[in-house]
Amino acid sequence: MNLKRYLSSVLVVTELELRKIRHDQSQIWLRVVQPALWLTVFGVTFSKIRAIPTGDFTYLQFMTPGILAQSVIFVAIFYGIVVVWERDLGLLNKLLSTPAPASAIVMGKSLAAGVRGLFQAIAIVILALIMKIDLILTPLSIIGVFAIIILCGMCFSSMSIALASVLRNRERMMGIGQAIMMPLFFASNAIYPLSIMPDWLKVIARGNPLSYIVDATRSLLVTGDLSSLGIDMLVICVTTTILVILASFGFKKILS
């Protein structure tokens, strides 16, 4: 199978997922509610008590990139459940009987999770603007953030699909999703800087891909200091690639 055909298979699977969203857009807006509450309730309160050192920036500025990333991973981390569900419905067998390779199907699905995240990200940025949170919005920073959001969705949805190939049912996936989500979010720089963490937690947070996603988004949207963007993007791309490969290998196991 040549590369062109492979990529077109990836995009067709993504198209399938996007067509579902187009028929039911409410799911996107409902998923914006929680991050919106983080900004308006948690963010507004914490910026009043000034408990968290955020340098030259307001707390709301600081946390907006964190909430952006959070809104994407909280959806992506449960993506494996969708895959297990589709297996139970018999949709996957049929997809795999087409010439599209399993890895193209996985990549298409994880890309769809990324694109889905994009809609949420746009809604959150609009909300941030309404709340008069000062963000750097240049064509370059917007394109950069979009790319990071898509990678973020791909990264965590393939992690979820890889987990689904081991856990193989919805209940366990629900459990593991809940279990991972909390440390993933709080052991990262999403809502407070690494500098206030105890040393052992810093080590964990530095190994957390979310920290790099948030750092990259933050440098583009808030600080404008792009010195660590290169290393951030490298870590994000490598992690995503590894997880997509793991998910592709695991995908057929979900079926048997």
Partner 1 sequence: MTEAIVVGNLVKVYPKVRAVDGISFTIPEGETFGLLGPNGAGKTTTIRILLTLIRPTSGSVSVFGVDALAHPNRVREMAGYVPQDVSVDGEITGYENILIYAKLYGMPREERKRRIKEVLEYLGLQDRANSMVNTFSGGMMRRLELAQSLVNRPRMLFLDEPSIGLDPNARNAIWELVSKLRDEFGTTILLTTHDMVEADTLCDRIGIMDRGKLAVIGKPSELKSAVGGEILSISSQNPDLAAVVKELGYSTMTESSNGTAELLVVNGEAVIPRLVEDLRARGLEIASVSLKKPTLDDVFLKYTGARIGEGGSWTQARLTRRTFRRLTR
Positions that interact with partner 1 (CB under 8 A): 1, 5, 8-9, 12-13, 15-16, 19-20, 23-24, 88-91, 93-101, 255-256
Amino acid found at 200: W
Smallest distance, partner 1 to C-beta of residue 163, A: 22
> For residue 42, how many C-alpha atoms fall within 13 Å in the half-sphere facing its CB?
15
Nearest alpha-carbon partner for 190 in 22, 43, 36: 43
Distance CA 220, CA 146 (A): 11
Smallest distance, partner 1 to C-beta of residue 116, A: 14
**Nearest to partner 1 of 86, 134 (CB atom):** 86
**Nearest to partner 1 of 17, 215 (CB atom):** 17
DSSP assignment of 5-27, as one string?
Answer: HHHHHHHHHHHHHHHHHHH-THH
Smallest distance, partner 1 to C-beta of residue 234, A: 33
Smallest distance, partner 1 to C-beta of residue 241, A: 24
**Nearest to partner 1 of 96, 237 (CB atom):** 96
**And the tokens for 221?**
């949207």
**Nearest to partner 1 of 50, 94 (CB atom):** 94
Beta strands in 28-187 (DSSP E): none
